[in-house]
Amino acid sequence: MAKIAILATDGFEEAELIYPFYRLKEAGHESVLISLGKRPIEGKFGYLMKPSFKIVDVNADDYDGVIIPGGTKNPDYLRRNQVILEFVHKINEQKKLVGAICHAGWVLISAKVIKGRKATSYYAIKDDMINAGADFHDKSVIVDENLITSRMPDDLPDFMRAVLRFLQE
């Protein structure tokens, strides 16, 4: 059983948080919602989720991976937090699962884990990804070793199949 951190704050894309959160649990893994604080966070359509931990109270060594949902505001707020960036960078250095959907590519860019890697994202940040050194592909899911990226909510089935396959290996 893997323990996966899901990093989110206000403005998260509901489908991109809720689908992986419960799909991981369904597959027997532990999914832990981590945010910038402990107060409930609000999705872009108003859905509230209560984080289990603040990012300052967790250690990347205690997790087997991380998933970052999109939404335009969520990744933009997350990438401004140095502790979030260090968490993602450390998970990547340890070759653990790093999953990012939609605009979450911004967090990968700021955490300096995207350069030279195959990846995808929402089309609106394609240029950002390319300019940061990503080998960009417009596909529903791209797997590059421990890095798994997807474009949008419609890609979630492909994304989660790849995530669960990675966790089985």
Q: One of 29, 89, 103, 137 is an active-site residue; which one?
A: 103
C-alpha angle 47-52-54 in degrees, rounded to nearest 5:
100
- Domain annotation for the chain: domains and CATH numbers: 3-168 (3.40.50.880)
| φ, ψ of residue 11 in degrees (nearest 5) | 90, 10
Cα–Cα distance for residue pair 91/7, rounded to 1 Å: 12
Question: In the annotation, is 103 catalytic?
Answer: yes
The pTM assigned to this predicted structure is: 0.97
5-46: pLDDT as tens digits: 999 999 999 999 999 999 999 999 999 999 999 999 999 999
